[in-house]
């Protein structure tokens, strides 16, 4: 488990109630959350917290490697407590479902960069985009049932 409180203090950041709560929300969620979802959860306890505070805190936690930010295609972006061991994501561009694969699959990349390019790798992040099994099945059924709720005009 991560020691967010210790890390914040060591880096000279104050552990404000907002920062503490935002951290706890993500840690207890054990899933990927958008900043909006984090803000909504935080407001259940601290109704006055504004979204920009949540964004700034998430950025801070990311900069301290306590939280990982993964960008979806387009503007969507989600957060989770830094996984141990490191994992990578594959994301369905149709429904947003997220899967994980292990860091060990990137061993050849580490090898190439460290041994051949003498590059000191600190972190590799890979996100694969595509279409999940469910959405492929929907596509095969045909155009009869669209994958999304189509808003009525
Ligand atoms: Zn993840
Ligand atoms: Zn999907």
pLDDT in tens, 61-101: 999 889 988 876 666 788 998 877 788 889 898 888 888 89
Statement to judge: residues 10 and 53 lie in one domain: yes
pLDDT at 123: 80
Average pLDDT estimate for 115-126: 90
pLDDT at 108: 94
Distance from the CA of 45 to the center of ligand 2, in angstroms? 33
Statement to judge: residues 37 and 91 lie in one domain: no
Distance from the CA of 113 to the center of ligand 2, in angstroms? 33
Statement to judge: residues 58 and 97 lie in one domain: no
Distance from the CA of 83 to the center of ligand 1, in angstroms? 7
Q: Which ligand is nearest to the CA of 130?
A: 2
Question: Which tokens belong to 153?
Answer: 């005009």
Distance from the CA of 29 to the center of ligand 2, in angstroms? 21
Task: Reply yes or no on whether the pLDDT at 53 is more than 80.
Answer: yes
Domain containing 32: what range? 1-84
Statement to judge: residues 68 and 102 lie in one domain: no
Domain termination residue (choose one: 35, 53, 84): 84
Statement to judge: residues 53 and 10 lie in one domain: yes
Statement to judge: residues 37 and 105 lie in one domain: no
| Region for residue 96 given its phi and psi (left: phi exceeds 0; alpha: psi -120 to 50; beta: otherwise) | left
Statement to judge: residues 16 and 48 lie in one domain: yes
Radius of gyration of the chain from its Cα atoms, rounded to whole angstroms: 19
Q: Which ligand is nearest to the CA of 97?
A: 2
Q: Which ligand is nearest to the CA of 147?
A: 2
Statement to judge: residues 14 and 58 lie in one domain: yes
Q: Which ligand is nearest to the CA of 101?
A: 1
For 46, 57, 81, 98, the CA distances from 64, given in Å and listed in that order, are: 24, 11, 11, 24
Q: Which ligand is nearest to the CA of 135?
A: 2
* Percent share of the chain, pLDDT over 90: 42
- Is residue 29 included in any domain, yes or no? yes
Statement to judge: residues 130 and 80 lie in one domain: no
Q: Which ligand is nearest to the CA of 88?
A: 1
pLDDT at 93: 87
pLDDT at 73: 60
Identify which of 2-6, 22-26, 31-35 has the greatest average pLDDT.
22-26
Distance from the CA of 129 to the center of ligand 2, in angstroms? 10
**Higher confidence at residue 146 or residue 80?**
80
- Is residue 93 included in any domain, yes or no? yes
Question: Which tokens belong to 26?
Answer: 């993500």
pLDDT at 115: 94
């Amino acid at each position: 488990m991560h020691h967010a409180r210790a890390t914040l203090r060591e880096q000279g950041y104050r552990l404000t109630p907002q920062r503490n709560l935002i951290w706890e929300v993500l840690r207890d969620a054990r899933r990927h959350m958008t900043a909006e979802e984090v803000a909504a959860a935080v407001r259940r306890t601290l109704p006055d917290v504004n979204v920009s505070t949540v964004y700034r805190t998430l950025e801070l936690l990311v900069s301290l490697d306590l939280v990982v930010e993964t960008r979806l295609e387009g503007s969507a972006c989600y957060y989770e407590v830094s996984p141990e061991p490191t994992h990578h994501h594959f994301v369905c561009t149709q429904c947003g479902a997220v899967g994980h694969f292990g860091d060990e699959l990137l061993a050849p990349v580490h090898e190439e960069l460290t041994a051949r390019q003498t590059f000191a790798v600190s972190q590799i992040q890979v996100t694969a985009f595509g279409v999940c099994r469910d959405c492929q099945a929907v596509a095969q059924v045909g155009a009869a049932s669209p994958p999304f709720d189509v808003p009525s005009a």
